């Protein structure tokens, strides 16, 4: 009997020490093993043909592992290696046409470095709400053979940090059969769901390098005007904010220097938020959960942002299944979600992921936050879509109908406030005629007459602000 018990204990010990991958494991729970420290060329040899490889994205993209993987795939003549990931920073050499037989990228959200490959058919894209991506891993729809991650150096207890990008990475490493980590002294140690004990890492590669820096473009007058309109007319003191990256979000944040006690519950954290924290505008004091702390899922910016994240208990980097869950978002006080659009039709449909039939980025978290803010439990949430009235070519972003093949990222019913440099259109509770009238009034003056004619043809009557 005692031998049987001893055998069972031994089996259980081996079960945990090997980190069996068909169950959800807890990355912060130390195991009885150590990572194998190897050079990058040896680390990528674990990849074989037809493997499914998860790659951590954003500013935490493990660029040295990606480079070595590409070279290994070519030299070893690997076939049909699938790479699944969020948007990646830096180069994506595996997506070159000549490597199509070796690699196939699968994006949850498409970065600039993979748009051409996706639209040329050499890479794939999964349309999905960001808050549902971790579910693909947790429910075994996707089980990576290998996960490539980018972590901080271990502390004295052996704990590393996923740093700037938790998003769906935590879910992926809970299910991956093998974990390969690029270990970097430049990766900040963040609080939240970013903890991984080094014992969960199978192969570790030491490679110190600065994280990719993403800087915004100089703000134009139109960006500044939109930022002022949103800040002055729609953002209240004590509001909880969600914004993305780009000129419009930067302009809005720059216009909030006189606001008080703002909170942040967002998908992406950027440099401009750091300035508002230092200036005392962002305090998070009114949030019922995570009081006093910024909540984000990833951070992309410059060294200023990465330095702010490092060992900062006032910031939590959490998984997208939490940050982007509309039910969680709805609990934030005065939740104010601000997103953008490629184009919008005169009834309020938003296309944010494509240029006609060409995929541009992805569904992302826009609808997660538009819906979460609209159903805010305090009844004071705001869902906002803000964009310049015209494209860089001078075409109106407000169109009679969406371009043929364009995806509807947010329906007419999801959009409440629309902002251009010409003002705010409040669409909530409006008829189709009232919506058309409100949107035409904030369109560029050069396009309003054409939009009125198109609205009459489509609606069979003139757009009007009256019922």
Is position 267 annotated as part of the catalytic site?
A: yes
* Spacing of C-alpha 55 from chain mean position: 14
From the list 64, 267, 272, 452, the catalytic residue is 267
Phi, psi at 340, each rounded to 5°: -125, -170
DSSP letters spanning 105-143: EEESS--TTTHHHHHTTSSEE----GGGHHHHHHTTS--
- If one counts every other C-beta atom within 10 angstroms of the C-beta of residue 146, the result is 25
Gap between the Cα atoms of 436 and 53, Å rounded? 47
Neighbour-count burial for 437-465, b at 16+ CB within 10 Å, e otherwise: bbbbbbbbeebbeebbebbeebbeeebee
Q: Locate 233 and state its tokens.
A: 């007319």
Name the helix (H) or strand (E) containing 206.
Answer: strand 203-206
Residues in the chain, total: 467
- If one counts every other C-beta atom within 10 angstroms of the C-beta of residue 401, the result is 13
Which residues participate in catalysis according to the annotation? 267
């Amino acid at each position: 009997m005692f031998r049987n018990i001893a055998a069972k204990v031994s089996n259980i010990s081996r079960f945990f020490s090997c980190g069996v991958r068909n169950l959800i494991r807890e990355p912060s729970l130390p195991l009885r093993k150590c990572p194998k420290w190897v050079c990058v060329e040896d680390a990528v040899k674990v990849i074989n043909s037809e493997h499914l490889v998860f790659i951590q994205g954003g500013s935490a993209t493990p660029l040295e592992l990606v480079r070595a993987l590409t070279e290994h795939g070519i030299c070893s003549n690997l076939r049909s290696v699938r790479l699944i990931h969020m948007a990646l920073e830096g180069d994506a050499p595996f997506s070159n046409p000549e490597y199509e037989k070796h690699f196939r990228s699968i994006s949850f959200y498409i970065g600039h470095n993979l748009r051409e490959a996706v639209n040329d058919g050499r890479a794939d894209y999964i349309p999905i709400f960001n808050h549902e991506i971790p579910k693909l891993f947790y429910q075994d729809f996707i089980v990576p053979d290998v996960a490539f991650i980018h972590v901080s150096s271990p502390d004295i207890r052996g704990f590393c940090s996923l740093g700037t990008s938790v998003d769906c990475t935590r879910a992926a490493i809970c299910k991956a059969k093998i974990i390969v980590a690029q270990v970097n002294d430049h990766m900040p140690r963040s609080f939240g769901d970013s903890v991984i004990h080094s014992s969960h890492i199978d192969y570790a590669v030491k490679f110190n390098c600065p994280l990719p820096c993403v800087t915004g473009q100089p703000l134009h007058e139109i960006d500044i005007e939109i930022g002022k309109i949103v800040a002055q007319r729609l953002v209240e003191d004590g509001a909880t904010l969600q914004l993305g990256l780009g000129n419009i979000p930067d302009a809005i944040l720059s216009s909030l220097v006189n606001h008080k006690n703002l909170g942040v519950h967002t998908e992406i954290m950027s440099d401009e938020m750091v300035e508002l924290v230092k200036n005392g505008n962002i305090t998070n004091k009114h949030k019922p959960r995570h009081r006093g702390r910024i909540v984000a899922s990833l951070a992309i910016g410059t060294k200023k942002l990465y330095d702010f994240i490092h060992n900062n208990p006032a910031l939590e980097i959490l998984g997208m299944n939490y940050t982007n869950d509309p039910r969680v978002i709805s609990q934030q006080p005065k939740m104010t979600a601000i997103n953008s659009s490629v184009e919008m039709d005169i009834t309020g449909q938003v296309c944010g992921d494509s240029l006609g039939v060409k995929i541009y980025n992805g569904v992302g978290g826009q609808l997660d936050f538009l819906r979460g803010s609209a159903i805010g439990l305090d009844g004071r949430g705001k869902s906002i879509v803000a964009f310049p009235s015209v494209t860089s070519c001078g075409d109106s972003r407000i169109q009679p109908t969406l371009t043929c093949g364009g995806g509807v990222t947010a329906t007419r019913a999801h959009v409440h406030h629309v902002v251009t440099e010409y003002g705010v259109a409040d669409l909530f509770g409006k008829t189709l005629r009232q919506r058309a009238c409100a949107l035409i009034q904030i369109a560029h003056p050069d396009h309003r007459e054409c939009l009125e004619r198109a609205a009459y043809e489509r609606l069979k009557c003139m757009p009007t602000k009256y019922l």
